[in-house]
Amino acid sequence: MIRSILTVIFLLALTGSWAQSRTSSPYSFFGLGQQTFRGTIENRSMAGIRSYSDSIHMNLQNPASYSKLRLTTYAIGLEHTETFARADEGDDQYDATSIEYISIGIPVSSKTAFGFGLVPFQSVGYRIGGIEDGVYTNFTGEGSLNRAYFSLGHELFKGLSIGGEFRYNFGEEINSSSIFINGVELGTNEENETDLSGISFNLALNYDTILADGHSFNASVVYQPESDITARNVRRLSTFVLTTDLNESINRTRVGDETRQELQLPSEVTVGVGYGLPRKWNLAAEYSLRGSSSSAARSFAPDNSSFTDASSYRVGGYYIPNYNSISSYWDRVVYRAGVRYEENGLIINNEEINEFGISFGLGLPIGRAGAFSNANIGFEYGQRGTQNAGLIKEDFFSLSIGLSFNDRWFQKRRYN
């Protein structure tokens, strides 16, 4: 039954879920969009920690973690974000709802497992503008850069695992800008439609051990080499008449030749350590450093922006009162929390655009005691940007829901 349900969900998601915009931040205009993917709901409820893994959940940001997977696992995640923006010109509010990932992980032995799925990891989604001093402006953008991946993890010897991930990156982004000056007959619109494609890789090394006092210690290194991505852009220049209800009635359009540009996805390295008591609690800390090659700006990027290396700091963990309790359901619930701070590497008007987030989550068991499937709920509050230099400061609230179903494959039945 689980296989049938998950197959239907997987096919439905493939029919158009990736076309939606996963963010509504004006900052997503810069570079190749805003990097919005931070792992499964379980991991992002712990600030996006990548170093922790277990035997019944997938860690989509650490391929070495697959070596610990003991059950075939199906996972899907959804998120809704409400954003409240403040700027010198006034306040605004916008929202976005999206599917975050669809994944399957399959163990083939006690030391090896693989997984595959789809993840939209960078997104564009904004709409800003208005009328000021007789000038009408309208700037919009939508689209995402998605990732189809295949991961493999293997335990070399007790406690030490390696993993690798092959990724095919693809997507489409559309950016449009319109200007109309009162007293001028026609306004102008420029639309850039960009198709993106390329391959990349992710490598990981995990170490887990049980200390003499029964506590656990784990450490991990995850490395993403710099990779190329091809951008094929078509530019359309149009004139339009602005109607009384502020609709743009296109007058004439000229389509330019397709241009091709080779961009780079930056290299990134993450190191993390964790300490805890198995099936009871764990606390982990991580640091990530991402290169600035994402600054390979597209031809229509503004002159007032630049990129530098980005850094991320994360601390997160979980607590389970009694994982196999038969008397209290809430004793089997996984309680998660985390905090993160990210220097995103984006500079606009000489101001750094940084981000802060604090997250909480619950892992709710599905079925009887001893069952492994679960529903995961996460909540995050965060801030992004600044009001300095005429920029925008955003406060955002995210609610995420994930399902993780477990099944057994490739195991012989003892009885018919």
Token pair for residue 342?
């990210």
- For residue 122, what pLDDT is reported? 86
Which residue type is seen at 255?
Answer: V
| Count of CA atoms in the C-beta half-sphere (13 A) of 365 | 19
Token pair for residue 202?
């992710």
Length of the chain, please? 416
Among 404, 313, 407, 405, residue whose Cα is nearest residue 41: 404
Among 63, 105, 8, 76, residue whose Cα is nearest residue 408: 105
Backbone angles phi, psi at 8, to 5 degrees: -65, -45
Which residue type is seen at 51?
Answer: S
- For residue 6, what pLDDT is reported? 47
Alpha helices in 69-200 (DSSP H): none
- For residue 13, what pLDDT is reported? 47
- For residue 297, what pLDDT is reported? 52
Please identify every stretch of the chain with a pLDDT value under 50, giving residue numbers as ranges. 1-2, 4-19, 294-296, 413-416
Among 173, 225, 179, 208, residue whose Cα is nearest residue 194: 173
Helix (H) or strand (E) holding 13: helix 2-14
Q: CA 56: distance to chain centroid?
A: 21
Start-to-end CA distance of the chain, whole Å, equals: 18
- For residue 408, what pLDDT is reported? 65
Q: How far apart are CA 32 and CA 96, in angstroms?
A: 18
- For residue 5, what pLDDT is reported? 45
Q: How far apart are CA 389 and CA 57, in angstroms?
A: 44
What letters, b where the CB count within 10 A reaches 16 and e where it falls short, cover 106-136?
bbeeeebbbbbbbbbbbbbbbebbeeeeeeb
Token pair for residue 293?
């090659």
- For residue 46, what pLDDT is reported? 97
- For residue 129, what pLDDT is reported? 82
- For residue 237, what pLDDT is reported? 94
Residue 291 DSSP one-character state: -
